[in-house]
Chains A and B, each alone.
Chain A
Amino acid sequence: MTVLIYLVPAAVSLGMLGLAAFLWSLRSGQFDDLEGARWRILDED
């Protein structure tokens, strides 16, 4: 079971990556206007 010594930290750091991505998107204001974002992807420019 020694493989767990690598695998568990690897799994946790992947999770941390996800957390960091979420916190970054939160800080850069991507959740400020969910209503508008839904339509903006249809906008051509």
Chain B
Amino acid sequence: MTASAAAINAIEDVSFGPAASKRDWAAWTTVGADGRRRLELAVDNVDCAACMGDIERAAARIRGVASPRLNLTTRRLTVALERDDADLEGLLTALDAVGHPARPFDPALARGAASTEMRRLLTSLATAGFGAMNVMMLSVAIWSGNVTDITPETRDFFHAVSALIALPCIAVAGRPFFSSAWRAVRRGGVTMDLPISVGVTLATAYSFVNTLTRQQEAYFDSALMLLFFLLCGRVLDELMRRRTALEAETLAALRTDTAVKIEPTGELVETPASKIAPGDLVLVRPGERAPVDGVIARGASEFDLSIMTGETTPVAAVVGTEICAGACNGSGAVELRASRPASGSFLDEVERLLRAAGDARSRTRRLADRVARFYTPVVHLGALSTLIGWLAAGADWRTALVNAIAVLIITCPCALALAIPAVQVVAAGRLFRDGVLLNAGDAIERFATVDTVLFDKTGTLTEPERRITDLADIDPALAGRAARLASRSRHPLARALAMAAGATENASATEVVERPGQGVEGRVDGRRARLGSPTFCGVAATKLAAAEERRPRATFIAYREDDSEPTLIAVEQRIRPDARDAVAALRKAGLAIEIISGDRPDAVASVAAELGVGRWRARQTPADKIARLEQLKASGRRTLMVGDGMNDAPALAAAHASLAPASGVDVAQVAADAVLLDGRLKAVPDLLAISRCARSAMIENLAFAIVYNVAAVPIAVTGHASPLVAALAMSGSSLVVTVNALRLRSARAVSGGERRLVEARA
């Protein structure tokens, strides 16, 4: 045995032991406000209240772990560490034992947990609500008093109290708008926040002057109510974004981006993948994914690159082969020396395309921004011409100014600012129940206008795991023996075989030797048996070619006993059960459908034929996919890209709208507009239908808000906008807009997605 082979065997020996690698826990914990170290864990299978007690009790029993608390909303467990030697491995084992496998969060990735923005908004909202209610209480008294018999002293007193309440409340509640408007102005841009800030500031200042000069009217209530309604919109918006961020992080943590690092001392330490530096040695065991890009330093195996290239045939890897992050290791443990993505490498290419594609998409302007762009100058010009008009008509300065301010107050885009967030939140909540997680609120607008759907094949139309598909054609006794040998191997294909034939480990084969990159050899029921690649088992090339022709999508492994004829076993990624229905529903709704894949032409063709899709392209690189999208875009089509792999990520970012299943790689999910949580393709037509309903609700809301303002402006211009009119206009329009958004919630049942899609297009 050579030195290198001995080393690999040594690695395999240690790496398969249960407690062989220890985690570098310091890298996972953060120091809390009270100086104690805290650890946050994503917990799986949390779906009921009973889990909460089980998990917390299990965690509390662990040495050194204090005050465990499970957040049922985010499905995260937070524990404080009382001492440095807290038994955190024990914690994971204990949670696993009660049926809730947990994974620690990489603190570097936990962005959504910092809920400071939400708290800031809620503080503002509460302050605005308090101020608006109390000032309104006084205002109603003044309004009714003005038409009856209020004494000027009482009115002045009420105004003074209103000012005392309103000024600090507006300062606190208006902060989000003032700071955002200021940032926009400094950048030279215009957002909705600018007219809001100007309107609120002028209304407050004017009311304050009126209070000091003991006039009849003050608009404190309008300013506060305006802030209150706008903050409702902001809170809803933030709520949606936070839920998305939290869910995405939990998904990522449960998929474990951990790496087993080999210390110079030979010790194995489990660390977050983000903490691996170039030059570090990383152990990749069979069945695991390479956590970082690297070059194989020791060992041999084969890697499944399907999640990256869409190509389903595994690629052989020996010392010196470059492997990129995400590749799935087949049969042998290998040591990987981490490298930066070399210029021109696959990942680098993906990243470059991703950046370029993302830039291009951020240029498509959102509905709200487009409205803001014309709304703001029109309103400000309107106020200015009111001022000039009244002066020209011979009014005094004071009247002219008052009426100009009234125009600004009454046109403050209260309903406009609520129009879109309200719809987005209701639609996002609805989609979430259907198993779709939106990454961006404005994605709904883009989903609604889609007319072409591009599907990736591998992992999207097909199931991500590979399964044995022709087990029924094989003699059951032979299949059982093959499965027993397979149960001793860690290779994903062998696992699939063992699972399919239902082998248990205790009745397994003996004298098993794993031959990295080839297969596994051993003794089953006294027969010498081999399971592995067709060449390893001595399958004739003609027989293999014939089998490949019969099943173009399959990868083949073979099983051979003694000197008998080897048996070929087909392993393939099956088409998702609901793919056909989803494709049919989309086609019925009049959408063009295409399959675009990195896999072999015959494999793609067979899937296309089975689903009845006429247009397909095979062997597409990430750049090819983008080129196809550009081509479609140039012909005026709006494309939805559905894909899960690394090779789809740039296309997902470049497409008009995009969708990734939760089983895909991180990059794909980050690049996509939405994630299919349970991988049901049936949700695609539903998503499009709901988006279309949502978009029409948005347009209705915008139209209503604009009509409302247009109707209200003449009242203000002619000087009839009393504080009472302003208050009624504002709350009335906000209410209508919100109720219209809530209609989406009670839109028809989920199952008839296809029908709704047809109706929504009509």
Chain A contacts to B: CB under 8 angstroms? 1, 4-5, 8-9, 11-12, 15-16, 18-19, 22-23, 26-27, 31-36, 38-40, 42-43
Contacts and interface: CB of A to CB of B under 8 A. Distances in A.
Contact of B74 (A11, A33, A38, A40): A33
Interface in B101-158: 115, 119, 122-123, 126-127, 130, 133-134, 137-138, 151, 154, 157-158
Nearest to B119: A26
A27 B126 CA distance: 12
B154 A1 contact: yes
A8 B129 CA distance: 18
Nearest to B129: A19
Given A8-B161, A42-B49, A19 B130 contact: yes
Contacts of B119: 26-27
Contacts of A22: 126
17 contacts: A8-B157, A9-B161, A11-B137, A12-B134, A15-B134, A19-B130, A26-B122, A26-B123, A26-B126, A33-B71, A33-B74, A34-B73, A35-B72, A39-B49, A39-B52, A39-B72, A43-B52
A39 B158 CA distance: 45
Interface of B: 49, 52-53, 70-74, 115, 119, 122-123, 126-127, 130, 133-134, 137-138, 151, 154, 157-158, 161, 165
A43 B151 contact: no
A32 B49 CA distance: 16
A16 to B, nearest CB: 7
B127 A19 contact: yes
Nearest to A1: B154
B414 to A, nearest CB: 22
Contacts of B71: 32-33, 36
B123 A4 contact: no
Given A8-B158, A33-B73, 6 more contacts: A4-B154, A16-B130, A26-B126, A33-B74, A36-B52, A42-B49
Nearest to B49: A39
Contacts of B138: 8
A43 B53 contact: yes
What DSSP secondary structure best describes chain B's contact surface? helix
A33 B72 contact: yes
Contacts of A15: 130, 133-134
What DSSP secondary structure best describes chain A's contact surface? helix
A32 B115 CA distance: 9
A4 B259 CA distance: 70
Contacts of B161: 8-9, 12
Contacts of A5: 157
Nearest to A32: B71
- The 5 residue pairs across chains A and B that have the minimum distance between CB atoms: A36-B72, A39-B49, A35-B72, A35-B73, A19-B130
A39 B55 CA distance: 14
Nearest to B71: A33
Contacts of B122: 26, 31
A43 B138 CA distance: 45
B137 A19 contact: no
B756 to A, nearest CB: 29
Nearest to B122: A26
A42 B71 CA distance: 16
Nearest to A37: B72
B158 A40 contact: no
A18 B130 contact: yes
A3 B137 CA distance: 16
Nearest to A16: B130
Contact of B165 (A12, A32, A43): A12
A4 B126 CA distance: 26
A32 B74 CA distance: 9
A27 B158 CA distance: 32
Given A18-B130, A36-B52, A4 B73 contact: no
Contacts of A34: 73
B146 to A, nearest CB: 15
A26 B126 CA distance: 10
A31 to B, nearest CB: 8
Contacts of A18: 130
A23 B73 contact: no
A33 B13 CA distance: 44
A5 B161 CA distance: 10
B705 to A, nearest CB: 30
A33 B156 CA distance: 45
A1 B141 CA distance: 13
B693 to A, nearest CB: 27
A23 B280 CA distance: 48
A31 B70 CA distance: 14
Nearest to A40: B52
Contacts of A42: 49
A42 B663 CA distance: 36
A32 B122 CA distance: 12
Count chain B CB atoms within 10 A of each CB in A9, A19, A23, A43 and give the residue with the most.
A19
A29 B72 CA distance: 14
Contacts of A11: 134, 137
Nearest to B56: A43
A1 B73 contact: no
A22 B129 CA distance: 11
A1 B74 contact: no
A45 to B, nearest CB: 8
B159 to A, nearest CB: 12
B53 to A, nearest CB: 6
B132 to A, nearest CB: 11
B130 A1 contact: no
B72 A19 contact: no
Contacts of A4: 154, 157
A38 B49 CA distance: 9
Nearest to B151: A1
B141 to A, nearest CB: 9
A38 B48 CA distance: 11
Contacts of A36: 49, 52, 70-73
